[in-house]
Amino acid sequence: MEKNMSLNEAIRVLVEDGDTVVMGACHEPIIPFAAAHEIIRQKKQHLTLVGTISDIMVDMMIGAGVVKKVIIAWVGNVSGGLGNNYRRAVEKSIPHPLEVEDHSNFSIGLSVLAGAMGVPFLPTKSLLGTDLLKSNPRIEINTYQDEKLAYVPALTPNVAIIGVQRADIYGNSHLWGNTGIAMEAAMASKKVILLAEEIVSKEVILSDPNRVLVPSYKVTAVVHCPGFNHPSPFQGFYQRDHEFFHQYHKETKTEEGFGEWLNDWVLSLSNHEQYLDKLGRNRLEQLKIKEKQLAAPVNYADK
């Protein structure tokens, strides 16, 4: 069954108010900024965001007022400093109070892995002695065979929005490089939206099964959306737009400044194509990866 949708349709149909949504999950690269912009334009409300390091995307969505809770390892601006909107929300309840469920990158990975496995929790030693046990009361300390362990509860999000290098229209896809917790998050989630830089034939995906993200039956929608990652880096396609991150930090130091930035870069634009036009096609072209570092060929033959 063909699963191709426009970005507008995928967000409108598959992301509902109050949903728990994984956004990205590859740490700093391949962040689905285009999906975040569309969620804001469609005025989705009361979302819970799940992730590891999604840079200014989460900060932006908090400032836009679409987020009520984060289950996350980190919010901020990697190269620019603090997340100004995140700080305003936590310290001053601007634009409204924000609930925070603290995690490390490892423990958020355990949460979605447990969800994918269908078990209620996964144990770890890595959180023992950390303040995460104080800031996240859902993580319990238990003893198994005289050994103290932290039990990290499972997460089964409503939706995972994940970027991939290429996909076919049936939901088969390839993801390579820093995949983070993308596979676990996709398997744990009830619905999966893939944002693909390229749409290819099924035969291209089948030629390298080890790079397939998840089985196609787990995928709900495939969105062809070149440049969806900007300003984050994207292995094989785009470099990180450092200046964009720095400018965002400067312009969002005040609530009024963020409002102007949001209107300029999101609300005044109708879609991702207009965003790329505003950014400038020449700028995007300059960010494209020009060199090639190809993997060695592999032989899957069994005869």
* Residue 267 to residue 249: CA distance in whole angstroms: 18
- Per-residue confidence at 84, pLDDT binned at 50, 70, 90? very high
Strands 121-124, 191-199: pairing kind: unpaired
* Residue 135 to residue 125: CA distance in whole angstroms: 17
Structure tokens at 253: 């130091």
Strands 20-23, 159-167: pairing kind: parallel
Q: Mean of the pLDDT values across residues 84-97?
A: 97
What are the tens digits of pLDDT across the range 102-159? Answer: 999 999 999 999 999 999 999 999 999 999 999 999 999 999 999 999 999 999 999 9
Domain ranges of the chain: 7-102+156-287, 120-153
Superfamily of domain 7-102+156-287: Glutaconate Coenzyme A-transferase (3.40.1080.10)
Radius of gyration of the CA atoms of the chain, in A: 19
* Residue 218 to residue 213: CA distance in whole angstroms: 10
Q: Is the pTM of this model over 0.85?
A: yes
179 within 8 A of 151, measured Cβ to Cβ: no
Structure tokens at 181: 């917790």
Q: Looking up tokens 């620019």, which residue turns up? A: 80
How far, CA to CA in Å, does 241 sit from each of 19, 22, 69, 229? Answer: 30, 23, 28, 10
